[in-house]
Structure 1
């Protein structure tokens, strides 16, 4: 699984119309840190993820560009199907 949090941070920052410096000031890091996140040279500290997610009004999963492989509906459908199969045996 490839983590591309930098691209998500960059896209959300640009959508909000704020500078790297403004984001850095809000989070309490240097502008260089934000730049490194956005270019994939480093990642934000794990303790900053909830702050960044709240600032951009996204979930941490969205911030991390994580998509579940199965939706809850698909999982429920598979579970029901398996349950029925076991009950008939």
Structure 2
């Protein structure tokens, strides 16, 4: 399970940022950061790259992704195959091994590639189209212009 709330809170404090300062840097309200840290909401996918950069971590760290499998988790993955071998079900054991080695989601590689390249605008989840998410500074400028026009 994702534990983004705890990661955001700990890393923000470690960098000495207030919720207000982090929110301002990302072009958001302090309430949005507060909701992330309490687990009421999750950051929008477009904010993962800028947020991770502000916190000095990778998006993998922000999302809690660890490519190393713990000993206990490895045992959990292998146990069904061992059971099948004990029953002399070779094809069942092979199937369970293949299932254990498969990525957790059918679009796992595409999702990781999209999140990893978001920050430098070189990738997108949509068939290689360039990412069009503006950086946080530009968002603030656009919002300020819009407010100025409205007055």
Written as runs of structure 1 = structure 2, the 5 A alignment for 1:66-77 is 66-70=65-69
- State the Cα distance separating 1:70 from its structure 2 match: 3.5
1:2-61 Cα shifts (integer Å, max 9, x gaps): 111111010000001110000000011110100000000000100000001111121101
The number of residue pairs the alignment matches comes to 70
1:55 and 2:59 equivalent?
Answer: no
CA distance in 1 between partners of 2:68 and 2:39 (Å):
24
Q: Which has the higher contact order (CA 8 A, sep 6+)?
A: 1
* Deviation sequence 1:56-80 (CA, Å, 0-9, x none): 1211010111112449xxxxxxxxx
Query: Where does the alignment leave 5 or more consecutive residues of structure 2 unmatched?
Result: 71-151
Deviates more, 1:37-46 or 1:61-70: 61-70
Aligned residues: CA RMSD: 1.4
